[in-house]
Homo-oligomer: A and B are copies of this chain.
Amino acid sequence: MYYLGIDLGGTNIAVGVVSEDGTIINSCTTPTLSNRNFQEIIKDMANLSLKLLEDSNISLEYVASIGIGSPGVCNSDTGVIEYSNNLKLLNVPIKYELQRYINLPIYLENDANCAAYAESLVGAAKDYKSSITVTLGTGVGGGIIIDNKIVTGAFNRGGEIGHHIINVNGIECSCGNKGCWEAYASATALIRETKNVIKNFPNSKINELSQNNLDNITAKIVFDAADCGDDIAINILDNYYRYIGIGIANIINILEPMAVIIGGGISAQKDKLIIPVKKYIKEYIYDGNLKSEIKVAKLGNDAGIIGAALLGKKIKF
């Protein structure tokens, strides 16, 4: 059998056909255009899914289920997206509405949970019964897997690890609170800090790589400057790694999963990221005795589709 996975994002809707072993056979995307009426978005999801199956020569009778990963508060019992700040959705019965077009079992889960589930089943955490996948991107997302199951929280609001506060009265976060981990550990935070710092260091390699335009600064430029031996970039990154380490240490102090998986664009740095972050985790965990594995994610942007698809196949590979 095959499993359809839909990754509903703020910019694009991505759909994939996934095989029994968690491989994406074929996939396609269409713009979300999130300002539309939700019925229009869901109709597009249905049409895209049916077209993908047709293009892949897979008949509907060979599809076991559809899984949807969506930002926000997703009620997996009712199939309702209760709230999404990103997509401006409130109490949308997406399962019911999508089933009007395609009569298959439909599963709904928060997108960060889908990504964590995928890493746990067929990705970097597949050898571990418990894992937490942290995604460092525009924000900081997270999904918690314990005993091979997604921990969504009692009311589907769990896993918001980016918004746990590491610095009371600290930097303002997009959520309105101050001092959230996201305000220090996201790629956005790295860029903000870099802009702040290099104002005082016009000779930094970062300025050269960004053509002396603050608006051109990306996370990659900071990593590239550090690779060139630029001390300013090295210091900025060291401070950034420290903040990543503090948040992960907090999670380990609380839950101690077998593995913590770091995803998002930043994770392309692999060992250059993992080694210093591990050093800081050891510094900040309770007894300094780090036993959890710290690894980079394996599935990249595919994690959302794969995890959503595999919601219909609730077993460990």
Chain A positions within 8 Å of B, measured between CB atoms, are: 73, 83, 128-130, 142, 144, 146-147, 151-161, 163-168, 170, 175, 177, 243, 246, 249-258, 283-287, 289, 291-292
Query: In the complex, are the beta carbons of B255 and A151 less than 8 A apart?
Result: yes
Q: Nearest-CB distance from A247 to chain B (Å)? A: 9
Query: What is the count of identical protomers in the complex?
Result: 2
A256 to B287, CA, bound (A): 26
Q: Nearest-CB distance from A111 to chain B (Å)? A: 15
Question: Contact check: which of B142, B167, B175 meets A167 at CB < 8 Å?
Answer: B167
- Interface of chain A, main secondary structure: loop
Chain B contacts of A151 at CB under 8 A?
146, 255
Chain B contacts of A152 at CB under 8 A?
256
A291 to B256, CA, bound (A): 25
Given A164-B250, A165-B246 in contact, is the A255-B170 Cβ separation under 8 Å? no
A36 to B226, CA, bound (A): 54
A12 to B33, CA, bound (A): 65
A292 to B9, CA, bound (A): 28
Given A146-B151, A153-B256, A157-B287 in contact, is the A250-B165 Cβ separation under 8 Å? yes
